A and B are shown apart, each in its own frame.
Chain A
C-alpha cells in the first residue's frame, strides 16, 4: 500500500489498470474523458493487456460490454451524463441478462441546457435499470468502490452490473492523497473470473437474449429482485474482506456524529464531505446534528436505514437531482417510502441542491442545518426546498 496524490479520474483509471479487465469498451465524454485517455495509455504502454474497444458511441460501449460479458470476459466501461442516458436502453439488458459489467460514472448534469458540471441526474435516470449503484465521497472511495464492485458483481447469485458514481469535477478533477494497493493485492482480492455460461464455450452453446412473452418475462424480472437481495448480502461481505486488506471499512452508509443527533442530513457523494465540516461547526455550538452518508443507493438498504433513522426528530434529505414529480427528489421519495408506517418516524424535508454543478459550501450546509433545527423547534418548513437557486 502506498499514498499517492491522484485526481478521482486518475484513481479510477488506476483501479481499472490494476483490475486489468479482459475487455474495456469506452467512449469519451466530459468529465469522464480522462479515464478513457489514461486507460488508453496503459494499453498503449503495455501496462495492461486488456483489449480496448474504441466504440463510436456510449450505446455501443454498453452493447459491446454486453457482448464481451456474455462471452465470459470481465468487461468494463465508463461514462457520464448524456452518455449514460444514451446507454439507458441497453443498461436494462445488461442487468436482465445478469452480466457483471462494471461502470464508473462521473456524475454530470443531463441536458438541457447543456452543462458539463456535477449533479446526479444521470445516475438517477438509471436508478430503475437494475444496476447496483454505489456512490463515492472522494477519490479514495471511488478507487475502493471500483475494486469492490468487481467482487460484488461477480458474487454467486448476484451477477449484476455495478455502477460506481463519483462527482464530476469535484471528485474527478480534484487531487487528493489516497492510499492505493499494490497491483498483486488487487489481483488477489478480485481473483480470476470464470463465467458459468459463455457464448465461447463451444461444447455448450447458449442462447442469450431470447424473446420471452407473457409466459416467462415476469419470472426473469422477479429473479432480478432476488439477485438484488443477494447483492444486499454480498456488499457488506465484500466490504469486510476489503477492510481486512486495507483497514478501510465500508457499509451501506456511514453515520457521522449520529449518537444523540436530533437533526440529521442524509445524502450522496462529495457534498457529504462538506457536510461533515458543517456538523463539526454546529456541534461546537452545541447543536445535536449528525450526518448519514449513503454509499449504496441500489439495492436500497431499507431496513438498515429505517433502523438508523427511527426516533430522529428531523431528517433533511439532500437530492442532487429532481424527479419533476412535484414531490421532491429520488432519495426523498425512497426514504419516505421506507419510513412510512414505521414507528418513531422522523419528519422528512427535502433539499434539492447543486444542479448543474452549482456550488455548495460549508456555510450553505450550515444554513440547511439551521432550517432543520428551526423545524425541530416548531417553525414551518416546506417539505421540498430548492436550495441556492433564483426563484
Chain B
C-alpha cells in the first residue's frame, strides 16, 4: 500500500482546471480512487456532474483514456471495453494490463443505471464501479433520487407547508450490490482517505466485478460551506449515517467504529437542506430519521459480527 507521500507524487489522472464547483466531493473521490491505480486506466463516466465538468470539448481533464456514453449505461459501456480488452489480448493484439473504472453519481447508479450496473456485476466483468453519492440529481439542479436521505429539501421533494421534504428512506445500494456475490463491495468516504484508497486498491486487485459506494459532498445541494466538505463528511461517518464497511467474498467487515456515535442531528444541522427539520412541529421527523440510522447501524454491526 502506497503512503500518502508516494500517492501525492503520482501524476494525477484527473487534472486540475476542470469545471466542477469549488468544494465538490466527486473530484476528491475520483482522485483518491485513481491514486490507487497501478496500470493504465480506462475511465468511464455516466452522464452527471463529473462528466459534464471534465470533458468540455475541445478540452479534457483526463490524462487516461475516457469514455462517456449516456446516463444509464456506464456499466454496460465499460463492460464492452473490458470485454474488448480480453478479446484483443486473447488474439495477441494487445499486451499488458488495464484498470477499468466507472464513475457514476447516485442518479446514474441507484436509479436510472441500476439495471446496467446489476447486469455488469452479475456477468463478472473485471472492473471497478465507483458511485459518488451526493444524494440527489445535482447536475440537473438538486432533484431527489432514491439515494436522497429522508427529510432532505430538494427541488422535487421541497420542504413545503404540508410536506417536510423527502418522505421516503434512502435505498441501500451497497447491500443490493453485495447480494450479487461479487468479490469485493465496500462503502467509503473521502474523509477517511486511507480507508478509501485501500479499498480502491483492493477492488482493483480483485478478479471480477467490484463496487465502491462513496459519499460525496455537494456544497450546492447540501447547502454547506465549500471549505467544510471533508469535516461534514466526517460527521456523516461519526453519526453512522454513512458506515464504512466492506464485503469481501461474502464476508462483511466493519472498517470504522466511532469512539462516540454522534447524534444524527450533528450532521443534519450543518446542512441547509435539512434546515426546515429544526422548525417547531418537525421533531417527529428528526426522531424517525435517527431511528432509521440506528436500525441501519445495528444491522451493519450484526452483519459484520460486531454485536
Say whether A and B bind each other. Answer: yes
Give the B-binding residues of A (Cβ under 8 A): 22-23, 25, 49-51, 53-57, 59-60, 63-73, 75, 89-90, 93, 199-202, 205-213, 216
The verdict on B123 contacting chain A, using a C-beta distance below 8 Å, is: yes
User: A residues within 8 A CB of B122?
Assistant: 56
Q: How far is the CA of A208 from the CA of B81 in the complex (A)?
A: 12
Contact pick for A206, options B58, B66, B79, B88, CB 8 Å: B66
* Further contacts, 4 of them, CB under 8 A, given A56-B116, A70-B67: A57-B116, A63-B76, A68-B81, A72-B88
Q: Is the CB of B58 within 8 A of A216?
A: yes
Distance in angstroms between the alpha carbons of A146 and B66 in the assembled complex: 30
Q: How far is the CB of B11 from chain A (nearest CB, A)?
A: 12
CB proximity of B15 to chain A, nearest CB, Å: 12
CB pair A57–B81 under 8 Å, yes or no, is no
Which residues of chain A come closer than 8 Å to B78, judged between CB atoms? 67
For chain B, residues 20 to 70, give those with C-beta under 8 angstroms from any C-beta of chain A: 40, 42, 44, 51-52, 55-58, 60, 62-70
Contact between chains at B80 and A211 (CB < 8 Å): no
CB pair B44–A67 under 8 Å, yes or no, is yes
- Interface 9-residue window, one of B91-99, B193-201, B251-259: B91-99
Q: Are A200 and B84 in contact (CB under 8 A)?
A: yes
Q: Please tell me which one of the listed residues B58, B77, B88, B119 contacts residue A73 in the complex, with CB atoms under 8 A apart.
A: B88
Known contacts A49-B90, A59-B73, A60-B116; A208 and B66 CB within 8 A of each other = yes
23 contacts between A and B (CB under 8 A): A22-B87, A23-B80, A25-B80, A50-B87, A55-B123, A56-B116, A59-B72, A59-B76, A60-B115, A63-B80, A64-B79, A67-B44, A67-B69, A67-B79, A68-B81, A68-B83, A68-B87, A72-B93, A89-B70, A199-B81, A207-B65, A209-B55, A212-B57
**Residues of chain B whose beta carbon lies under 8 Å from any beta carbon of chain A:** 40, 42, 44, 51-52, 55-58, 60, 62-70, 72-73, 76-88, 90-91, 93-94, 96, 98, 115-116, 118-120, 122-123
The answer on a CB contact under 8 Å between A22 and B88 is yes
Q: Of B55, B76, B98, which contacts A55 at CB under 8 A? A: B76
Let me know if A211 and B76 touch, CB within 8 A. no
The answer to whether A73 and B87 have CB atoms under 8 Å apart is yes
A71–B98 Cα distance when bound, in Å, is 12
Known: A49-B90, A59-B76, A63-B73. A210 touches B68 (CB 8 A): yes
Query: In the complex, what's the smallest C-beta–C-beta distance from A354 to chain B, in angstroms?
Result: 34
- Interface centre among A22, A201, A210, by most chain B C-beta atoms within 10 angstroms, is A210
Distance in angstroms from B61 CB to nearest chain A CB is: 9
A49 to B76, CA, bound (A): 21
A50 to B44, CA, bound (A): 23
Q: Find out whether the CB atom of A211 lies under 8 angstroms from the CB atom of B90.
A: no
- The answer to whether A63 touches B65 (Cβ under 8 A) is no
A53 vs B78: C-alpha distance when bound (angstroms): 12
B4 shortest CB reach to chain A, Å: 26
Residue of B72, B98, B119 ringed by the most chain A CB atoms within 10 A: B119
- Do the beta carbons of B51 and A211 come within 8 Å of each other? yes
CA distance A68 to B80 in the complex (A): 4
Q: What CA separation (Å) do A348 and B70 show in the bound complex?
A: 41
| Contact call B72/A53, Cβ cutoff below 8 A | no
Contact A199 B76 (CB under 8 A): no
Closest Cβ of chain B to A190, distance in Å, is 15
Chain B residues whose C-beta falls within 8 Å of the C-beta of A56 in the assembled complex? 115-116, 118-119, 122
Among B51, B60, B91, which residue has its beta carbon within 8 angstroms of that of A22?
Answer: B91
Residue on B with the closest CB to A22?
A: B87
Chain A residues with CB below 8 A from B42, complex form:
71, 199-200
